[in-house]
């Protein structure tokens, strides 16, 4: 399915392993864009809508086994509703959407982590989102052990994916890097161990190019 642009808006997504600092960077970028007079919608998947938050509870916090294909479909259902009711309308209004996780998360976690077929998972997501691809995807690349250490310091409750073994997260990281290598125009890959302000400056520089 071909990628498509919607309205005059910009669609930026943040990807990376748990503990890579995606939300911190999204907040900093939002502040900078607002200071320049832009209207920003900051959102996330799973979640981002009322329906999505219910799906989020099931897919992240429900106890017991969920079959991998069911898990993939739940993320896709969340995505379909979120893109249709929140993201597309904002892009059509010419706004900037900053989103924590999108289809690359599904390809990395469900496609490669859960060993479903990566291409099929991508197609499922594109079907759910009617072909919408981000203008830029910031990948915060981080060694699995470092990400885990950051989470252990800040968390008491681990979600279903966070509870997976280091080997799973190692495959997720490799999957992300392969996705970035396959689409170098869309991805901005940054070393997540760099100082927060350096990363923020690199993100702003890429976004400035797009806004120019
Ligand atoms: P996130 O909201 O980034 O977690 P947190 O707020 O706990 O940092 O993401 C929650 C989890 O959802 C994360 O472990 C990865 C997983 N996930 C998938 O497996 N597939 C997907 O398509 C998405 C969007 C997230």
Residue 3 lies in a domain: no
Q: What is the pLDDT of residue 4?
A: 57
Enumerate residues lining ligand 1, CB below 6 A: 18, 44-46, 60, 75, 100-101, 105-106, 109-110, 159, 161-162
Residue 113 lies in a domain: yes
Residue 5 lies in a domain: no
- Number of separate domains in the chain: 1
Q: What is the pLDDT of residue 5?
A: 67
Q: Tell me, in angstroms, the distance from the centre of ligand 1 to residue 17's CA.
A: 9
Q: What is the pLDDT of residue 194?
A: 97
pTM: 0.95
User: Ligand 1: which atom is nearest the Cα of residue 76?
Assistant: 22
Residue 58 lies in a domain: yes
Q: Which of 62, 82, 109, when mutated, tests ligand 1's pocket best, judged by the most ligand atoms within 8 Å of its CB?
A: 109
Query: Is the sign of the CA dihedral 161, 165, 169, 175 positive or negative?
Result: negative
Q: How far, in Å, CA of 147 to CA of 18, rounded?
A: 6
Hey, whose CA ends up nearest to atom 14 of ligand 1?
161
Q: Tell me, in angstroms, the distance from the centre of ligand 1 to residue 141's CA.
A: 15
Strand segments (E) across 78-200 = 96-100, 136-141, 187-191
> Digits of tens for pLDDT over the chain (212 positions)?
445 567 789 999 999 998 899 999 999 999 999 999 999 999 999 999 999 999 999 999 999 999 999 999 999 999 999 999 999 999 999 999 999 999 999 999 999 999 899 999 999 999 999 999 999 999 999 999 998 888 888 877 788 888 888 899 999 999 999 999 999 999 999 999 999 999 999 999 999 999 98
Q: Tell me, in angstroms, the distance from the centre of ligand 1 to residue 37's CA.
A: 30
Residue 188 lies in a domain: yes
| Residue-number span of the structural domain to which 84 is assigned | 10-211
Hey, whose CA ends up nearest to atom 23 of ligand 1?
105
Q: Tell me, in angstroms, the distance from the centre of ligand 1 to residue 18's CA.
A: 8
Q: How far, in Å, CA of 149 to CA of 155, rounded?
A: 10
Q: What is the dihedral of CA 185, 102, 173, 108, to 10 degrees?
A: -110
User: Ligand 1: which atom is nearest the Cα of residue 161?
Assistant: 14
Residue 51 lies in a domain: yes
Residue 186 lies in a domain: yes
Q: Which of 15, 60, 171, when mutated, tests ligand 1's pocket best, judged by the most ligand atoms within 8 Å of its CB?
A: 60
Q: How far, in Å, CA of 167 to CA of 148, rounded?
A: 12
Residue 2 lies in a domain: no
State how far the alpha carbon of 13 is from the alpha carbons of 18, 64, 66, 94, 139, in Å: 15, 30, 27, 16, 9
147: number of Cβ within 10 Å: 24
Identify the CATH number of the domain in which residue 130 sits: 3.40.50.300
């Amino acid at each position: 399915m071909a990628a498509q642009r919607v309205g005059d808006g910009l669609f930026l997504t943040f990807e990376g392993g748990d503990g890579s600092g995606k939300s911190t960077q999204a907040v900093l970028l939002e502040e900078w864009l607002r200071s320049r007079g832009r209207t920003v919608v900051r959102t996330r998947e799973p979640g981002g809508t009322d329906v999505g938050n219910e799906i989020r509870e099931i897919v992240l916090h429900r106890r017991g086994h969920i079959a991998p294909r069911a898990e993939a479909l739940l993320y896709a259902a969340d995505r379909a509703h979120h893109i249709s009711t929140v993201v597309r309308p904002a892009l059509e209004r010419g706004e900037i959407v900053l989103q924590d996780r999108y289809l690359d998360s599904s390809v990395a976690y469900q496609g490669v982590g859960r060993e479903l077929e990566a291409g099929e998972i991508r197609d499922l997501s594109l079907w759910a989102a009617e072909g919408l691809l981000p203008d830029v995807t910031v990948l915060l690349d981080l060694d699995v052990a470092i990400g885990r250490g950051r989470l252990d310091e800040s968390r008491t409750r681990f979600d279903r994916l966070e509870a997976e073994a280091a080997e799973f997260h190692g495959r997720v990281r490799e999957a992300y890097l392969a996705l970035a290598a396959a689409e170098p125009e869309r991805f901005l890959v940054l070393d997540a161990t760099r100082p927060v302000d350096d990363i923020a400056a690199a993100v702003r520089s890429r976004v400035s190019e797009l806004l120019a």
